[in-house]
Amino acid sequence: MTVLQGKVAIVTGAASGIGRATALLFARQGAKVVVADMNESAGLEVVRLIEQEGAQAFFQMLDVRSEENCAALVDSTLQRYGQLDIALNNAGVFAAPTLTEDQGLALWQRMLDVNLTGVFNCMVHELRAMKARGGSIINTASVAGISGTYGAAAYCASKHGVIGLTRSAALEYGKYGVRINALCPGLIETPMTAGPDSGFNEKMINAGVKSSALRRQGTPEEMAEMALWLASDRSCYATGGQFVVDGGVSA
């Protein structure tokens, strides 16, 4: 049974990692998917894979720092498919660990602009589109949104902010049938943690694995499964929550 049959979903940061895995899974579960990202070639490849399996998708160039881009994303979705039921606001950035005093205003601002303001920019327009018929919004936060992380003050602040935004909006929009939850991944094997510009090194990854009860990194596909549950009617009483999927690190 395809649990998202007849639904339309936006996935930001959909060209790689958790976003890519979720876009593919949503499509396999019956949703029409809008693949939104700054990486056009990788995003178009996700669309190709979705269409190859007989589902519907289109690519939308998106810089979440731009409120105009986010408005255009929702407008394009409504013009193409006539509705919006699900949004995974997943686009985000990380940086190499640095002491707070050395992070600098530019890094601080980049973390907030992409990880927090980017989610807000998307949500404003998603909420307006969903008020009439309800829907599910999932904001990608992090275990760094529920605890501190050495050398990542700006990143932690941005992800704590995502959780605060999620909680407040959930209180406001429940009466419209819009559910809003935060997905809090732990150490997941994505380009953000394993790529050449990730900011992670082998020592950091090994430390993260050691602190996990399961003694391994998570996969994007495992995060996508939680996103699918939150997107579907199976989680119809869940809103304002922080769903931690971290292999037991926070335990």
Residues forming the active site: 155
CA pair distance 193, 201, nearest whole angstrom: 8
Q: Which two tokens stand for residue 244?
A: 């931690």
Q: Are 61 and 73 in contact (CB under 8 A)?
A: no
Residue owning tokens 């994007």: 220
Dihedral sign (CA 154, 125, 173, 89) = negative
End-to-end CA distance of the chain: give it in Å, rounded: 34
Q: Which residues pair with 185 in a beta bridge?
A: 245
Contacts of range 50-55, beta carbons closer than 8 Å, 24 or more positions apart: 50/23, 50/24, 53/27, 53/28, 55/27, 55/28, 55/30, 55/31
Q: Are 86 and 135 in contact (CB under 8 A)?
A: yes
